[in-house]
């Protein structure tokens, strides 16, 4: 069988690339060894947010009396929460399947293997193609900790698929996005949660001030957070696990819990991808590719989590998928990859885009910052939100917006406006010249920009 483009991996990067390629006039075959939608839809972003919505709704009912509402004997049905999560995931997956069918994309279920440039084998069949786009995503990475492979140690896939895993107590190894979101989820359900992070602070890829604020909020919510924690070993059986770690002072501690969640990172998923006679340049187990996705072999491209030094975000993979198809078609990439927002779905939400004040100082960039606190926003007071802020980072000389960090309700929705402002080179003056409706959370953007207005 012959096609113009073969795409290996049916996640956000893969199915986006497939759709754009067909619309560009290419004949496309898409290989996926599991379910269409990839990790994000099936085992990551979407099921996590569905469960978080249920858990946060349950937790909010526990504080309803403060709003003048009497609610008694409130309970949650863990199995029902997961059934609803499965319904959401199923509907979204069905949507991707319909998209592929509507665009007449050939979808092959199975493990695709690149035998050589232009030749792919799958299920005993051989496919001849002009170009290959690798979009195989990532998988859970396990740190070298004795006992990490014991029963009773779960990963994010284990707790999101099917009926999941419920706990009265849980230790989370890793304070990145997966770790803090799962901490929020389980704490909302009344679980005793401990988060252990090896780096100087949780969310190590984000601004230290964000991490400090989230640490304070999580502790207020009853979560134990330990940074600079070195896990020594894990022991026990499911339901009765013991984890030993040393804290930042070198003092050894042992914490007991029903379960342990391994959330210390992810790695490129290249299992079974390369045939015996084929290879690509790799860096730390991921495929090396240039800005347009070109690898060390002509006509072979890589996008998303499988790419070395890449930001592991679904929207990054989707954007790269569209850009790479444009490059194959001989066109300019349509999407600007220089400004990428990141979101964390804790309570309150966290979002960041562009330069942080901390990074600016390290790089010797002269900046001015403007901050607006949630306590000064009417909508935040009405909804009784946790303490947070909107912070803008601007160039000292020109006033152009260089970055933004948000710890507040609807941060993940509002960051889009700031991403656009940075991408278009707008100044704080120009941002504060836009009328924002009242009362809304978005008024915090106006407030932070107004504080930087050059009079």
377: which 2 tokens?
């926003």
Looking at the DSSP bridge assignments, the partners of residue 308 are none
438 is catalytic: yes
Angle, alpha carbons 38-156-109 (nearest 5°):
25
Comparing C-alpha atoms, which of 437, 435, 441 is closest to residue 380? 441
**Selected catalytic residue, list 63, 82, 253, 438:** 438
83 token code pair: 């059934």
Question: Long-range pairs for 119-123 at CB < 8 Å and ≥24 separation?
Answer: 120/6, 120/8, 120/31, 121/275, 122/31
At residue 281, φ and ψ (nearest 5 deg) are -65, 130
Are β-strands 266-268 and 138-140 bridged in parallel, bridged antiparallel, or unpaired?
Answer: antiparallel
359 CB burial (10 A radius; 0-12, 13-18, 19+): middle
Ordered DSSP codes for 386-448: PS-EEEEEEETTT-BEEEEEEESTTHHHHHHHHHHHHHTT-BHHHHHTS---SS-TTHHHHHH
Please calculate the CA angle 178-182-186 and round it to the nearest 5 degrees. 175
Residues 6 or more apart in contact with residue 359 via CB below 8 angstroms: 207, 403
**Which residue has 């990145």 as its token pair?**
176
Q: How far is residue 349 CA from its own chain's centroid?
A: 13
How many CA atoms, within 13 angstroms, populate the side-chain half-sphere of residue 142?
13
> What residues are annotated to the active site?
438
């Amino acid at each position: 069988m012959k096609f113009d483009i073969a795409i290996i991996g049916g996640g956000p990067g893969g199915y986006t690339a497939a759709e754009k390629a067909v619309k560009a006039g290419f004949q496309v075959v898409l290989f996926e060894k599991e379910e269409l939608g990839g990790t994000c839809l099936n085992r990551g972003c979407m099921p996590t947010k569905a469960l978080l919505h249920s858990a946060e709704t349950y937790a909010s009912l526990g504080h309803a009396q403060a709003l003048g509402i009497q609610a008694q004997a409130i309970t949650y049905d863990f199995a029902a929460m997961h059934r609803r999560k499965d319904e959401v995931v199923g509907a979204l997956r069905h949507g991707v399947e319909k998209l592929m069918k509507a665009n007449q994309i050939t979808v092959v279920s199975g493990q695709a293997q690149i035998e050589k440039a232009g030749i792919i084998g799958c299920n005993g069949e051989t496919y001849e193609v002009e170009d290959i786009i690798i979009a195989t995503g990532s998988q859970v990475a396990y740190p070298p900790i004795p006992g990490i492979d014991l029963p009773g140690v779960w990963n994010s896939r284990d707790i999101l698929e099917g009926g999941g895993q419920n706990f009265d107590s849980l230790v989370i190894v890793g304070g990145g996005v997966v770790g803090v979101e799962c901490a929020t989820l389980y704490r909302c359900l009344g679980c005793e949660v401990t988060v252990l992070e090896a780096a100087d602070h949780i969310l190590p890829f984000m601004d230290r001030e964000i991490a400090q604020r989230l640490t304070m909020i999580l502790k207020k919510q009853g979560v134990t957070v330990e940074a600079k924690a070195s896990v020594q070993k894990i022991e026990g059986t499911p339901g009765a696990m013991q984890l030993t770690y040393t804290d930042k002072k070198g003092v050894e501690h042992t914490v007991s819990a029903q379960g342990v969640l391994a959330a210390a990172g992810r790695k490129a998923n290249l299992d079974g991808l390369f045939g015996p006679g084929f290879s690509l340049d790799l860096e730390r187990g991921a495929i090396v590719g240039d800005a347009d996705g070109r690898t060390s072999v002509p006509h072979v491209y890589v996008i998303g989590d499988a790419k070395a030094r890449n930001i592991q975000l679904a929207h990054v993979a989707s954007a790269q998928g569209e850009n790479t198809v444009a490059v194959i078609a001989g066109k300019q990439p349509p999407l600007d990859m220089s400004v990428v927002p990141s979101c964390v779905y804790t309570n309150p939400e966290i979002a960041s885009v562009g330069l942080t004040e901390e990074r600016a100082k390290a790089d010797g960039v002269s900046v001015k910052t403007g901050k607006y606190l949630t306590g000064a926003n009417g909508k935040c007071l009405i909804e009784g939100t946790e303490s947070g802020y909107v912070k803008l980072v601007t160039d000292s000389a020109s006033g152009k917006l260089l970055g933004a960090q948000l710890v507040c309700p609807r941060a993940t929705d509002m960051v889009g406006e700031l991403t656009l402002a940075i991408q278009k080179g707008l100044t704080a003056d120009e941002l504060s010249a836009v009328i924002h409706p009242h009362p809304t959370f978005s008024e915090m953007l106006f407030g932070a920009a107004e504080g930087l207005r050059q009079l």
